[in-house]
């Protein structure tokens, strides 16, 4: 399936996504550090949550799809490493609660 086929009927939504103000600000360098940091953390959480799902596909995927899924998981691993490295350089905490983040504001471990 081609990208044109995937986008058929979704051109308006695609245009809104790729021409979003945040994307434009990233391109022209006017994005505020706090905006970029918020995106960085949110997107890390999204990719971190998606990675186990992608891995779970291996159990039921036909043999002809295994290479594609494994390659995708490898790309996600590289992306997660970039997020962690960039977050550390920018002073952002991307630790997932329950995986090492200290209890905050009197939260208990219940």
Q: Over range 1-7, report the average pLDDT.
A: 88
For 16-68, what is each residue's pLDDT tens digit?
A: 999 999 999 999 999 999 999 999 999 999 999 999 999 999 999 999 999 99
Alpha-carbon distance of 52 to 50, in angstroms, equals 6
pLDDT computed for residue 95 by the predictor: 85
14, 3 contact by CB (below 8 A): no
Whether the full predicted model's pTM is greater than 0.75, yes or no, is no
Residue by residue, what is the 3-state secondary structure of 40-56?
Answer: HHHHHHHHHHHHHHHHH
Q: pLDDT band for 96, please (50, 70, 90 cuts).
A: confident
């Amino acid at each position: 399936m081609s990208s044109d086929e995937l986008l058929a009927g979704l051109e308006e939504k695609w245009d809104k996504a790729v021409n979003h103000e945040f994307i434009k600000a990233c391109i022209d360098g006017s994005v505020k550090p706090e905006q970029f940091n918020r995106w960085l953390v949110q997107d890390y959480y999204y990719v971190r949550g998606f990675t186990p799902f992608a891995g779970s596909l291996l159990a039921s995927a036909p043999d002809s799809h295994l290479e594609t899924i494994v390659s995708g998981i490898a790309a996600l691993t590289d992306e997660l490493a970039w997020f962690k490295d960039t977050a550390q350089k920018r002073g952002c905490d991307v630790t997932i609660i329950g995986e090492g983040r200290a209890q905050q504001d009197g939260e208990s471990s219940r």
